Structure 1
Amino acid sequence: MRLGVTMFATDLTMAPHELAREAEARGFASLYLPEHTHIPVSRATPPPTGDDTLPGEYGRTLDPLVALAAAAVVTDRITLGTGILLPAQRDPIVTAKAVATLDRLAGGRVALGVGYGWNAEEGADHGVPWKRRRAMAREHVLAMRELWTRDEASFTGEFVSFEPSWSWPKPRGRVPVLLGGAPGPTLFAHVAEYGDGWLPIGGAGVREALPRLRRACADAGRPMVPVVPFGTLPSAAKLDHYASLGIEEVVLRVPAGGRDTVLPRLDEYASSYL
């Protein structure tokens, strides 16, 4: 089983390119970074963490594509992913070029973990119609795929429309799109339609959800997609459980801190689980 890591990278944590280099040196397979463009101070959306107040790192996140570009130039093997990027809040033409550029710099090592978002006030500042954000994220990903794969790309949809256009660079290969979120028919229909895998955040309930995801993929006429439990706090029993389900990669959570906090956790995970 491959093990990756994710950290809530901010301007106060260990630099993500240093984390990528240290993770690769210890044998980890991937590094994923999250995204929040900003956090409105006044909002009604409760924190997803269950805390009374939102932890401060949510308002200090680095741009994941820029941070991963720095990581790309100091590593050779490790997969560099977003976990997760919010496509509904991004211009798809600009984001397609940024992701393709990153993949070129990384030698084809990019994975795009995407999600729908939880913070309605953040989405509103980007003009996202909140109840339609899943449909909007879907269109943005499909439009980016057109730009990545066609010499003359065009798209006409509810939220995205552009005439036949040239857009280079292209990614070195297919950029896998992994959809994050809680299990359910809408998510699994989207995974089966246009995703390359499912990122269950935290990894709870995976065993019960696998038959439903497998059915959704079969209904779409495609093989079962990979499942990558994400942000997991590991134990030997938990990783053995995932392995028994046929899961081939798990992304472990490391604390959002400096080198003196993060490196001992990397060493602990490496010595215990790699």
Structure 2
Amino acid sequence: MRTGLAVPQYGAFATPEAVTEVARAAEELGYDSLWTADRILTPRHPKDPYPGGDGTMPEEYRTFLDPLTVLTLAAAVTERVRLGTSTLNALWYAPILLARTLTSLDVVSHGRLDVGIGLGWMRDEYRAAGVPWERRGEQLEQWLDAAETIWGSAEVCHDGTRWAIPPSSIEPKPVQRPRPPLLFGGFSPGALERIGRRGDGWLSAGLPVPALTGMWETVRRAADTAGRDADALRTVIRVNARLTDTPAPADRVPNEGTVAQIADYLLGTAEAGIGEVEALVDFQQTTSTPGQLLDAAEELLKRLRP
């Protein structure tokens, strides 16, 4: 099983020293990838509940570093690990600008970038970013059309209803050709269909395995319909773990539990037939120092790779 770790980015970990210490150490431990998330505000009176727990956003999210700045810093102190976003809320950014930043990160990391894209869940953030909440799926399709043209074409031209790019040269291109891998988050039928139709993988979460396998079948059917190789798609399972000293009830695993419980859950997903599975674990909500985070990360890795 490939293993990923959420690199320090928010709460008590939102410091350059934490980023560099954990990024270096994670690579030395043997982790395959480092990941960041995308959050721009914590509303006092949110219009939408947080999709987890009792609906309250974690207190740690009040302080949040920019995801691509953090990955650039991690790239500078590592040589091997992949660098991914889980997930970027693509519609907050004009495709020509975000495509340029992502290309730059792929170049400076010598081709180690995985572009994970989602649509988010909070209307307050969309309004603050000046982006329409309605018709997000349709907007994302056009965003992807523009970005893939920027990454792939020698002469770039895009004429959409929201974004238009005149015939232009836009260089450099990404190191990875024809573009960095694109992974999509989401659980709705439309989001799962998009993964199969034009993605390289699925950014999922720590859901019950039967739910994951059912949604994965939707992804595979979409890939088959689009004439794509469903077996080439991958799945990244993100777990925002809260560690306990004693075993948690089964219905709370993997988002709560001992390291052994979380490892057993992740190993079970790898055997469930949902593509090539990569575990992505975030310990920033259950530890308070880089040392504690790395201790948990090392223990998990030993259980996943005995």
Shift, 1:6, TM fit: 1.9
Distance 1:237 1:231, change over 3 A: closer
Q: Partners of 1:16 and 1:140 in 2: how far apart? A: 30
Instruction: After TM superposition, list the pairs within 5 Å mapping 1:213-228 onto structure 2.
Output: 213-224=219-230, 225-228=233-236
Corresponding position of 2:182: 177
Instruction: After TM superposition, list the pairs within 5 Å mapping 1:87-126 onto structure 2.
Output: 87-126=90-129
Corresponding position of 1:210: 216
Distance 1:167 1:57, change over 3 A: farther
Q: Partners of 1:36 and 1:117 in 2: how far apart? A: 9
Shift, 1:81, TM fit: 0.4
What is the aligned counterpart of 1:63 among 63, 66, 78? 66
Give the paired residue count: 273
The 10-residue stretch of structure 1 (104-113 or 231-240) with the greater mean CA deviation from structure 2: 231-240
Q: Where in structure 1 are there 5+ consecutive unaligned residues?
A: none
Shift, 1:41, TM fit: 3.1
User: Does residue 28 of structure 2 align to residue 25 of structure 1?
Assistant: yes
The amino acid of 2:2's aligned partner reads R
Shift, 1:37, TM fit: 2.2
SS in 2 for 1:9: coil
Shift, 1:237, TM fit: 4.9
Corresponding position of 2:282: 253
Corresponding position of 1:236: 264
Corresponding position of 1:189: 193
Q: Deviations over 1:101-144 (max 9, x none)?
A: 00011110000111111110110122222121222223223211
Corresponding position of 1:35: 38
RMSD: 1.9
Shift, 1:203, TM fit: 4.2
Are the equivalent residues in 1 in contact too, given 2:76–2:109 (CA < 8 A)?
Answer: yes
Corresponding position of 1:85: 88
Corresponding position of 1:268: 299
Q: Where in structure 2 are there 5+ consecutive unaligned residues?
A: 241-253, 255-261
The 10-residue stretch of structure 1 (53-62 or 169-178) with the greater mean CA deviation from structure 2: 53-62
Q: Partners of 1:83 and 1:243 in 2: how far apart? A: 23
The amino acid of 1:211's aligned partner reads E
Distance 1:141 1:16, change over 3 A: farther
Corresponding position of 1:156: 159
Corresponding position of 1:131: 134
Shift, 1:79, TM fit: 0.5
Q: Deviations over 1:56-111 (max 9, x none)?
A: 33232111111101111111110000111000111211111110000011110000
SS in 2 for 1:227: strand
Select the structure with the greater relative contact order (CA < 8 A; seq sep ≥ 6): 1
Q: Partners of 1:37 and 1:139 in 2: how far apart? A: 23
What is the aligned counterpart of 2:170 among 164, 167, 175? 167
Give the structure-2-normalised TM-score.
0.83
What is the aligned counterpart of 1:198 among 197, 202, 216? 202
SS in 1 for 2:12: coil
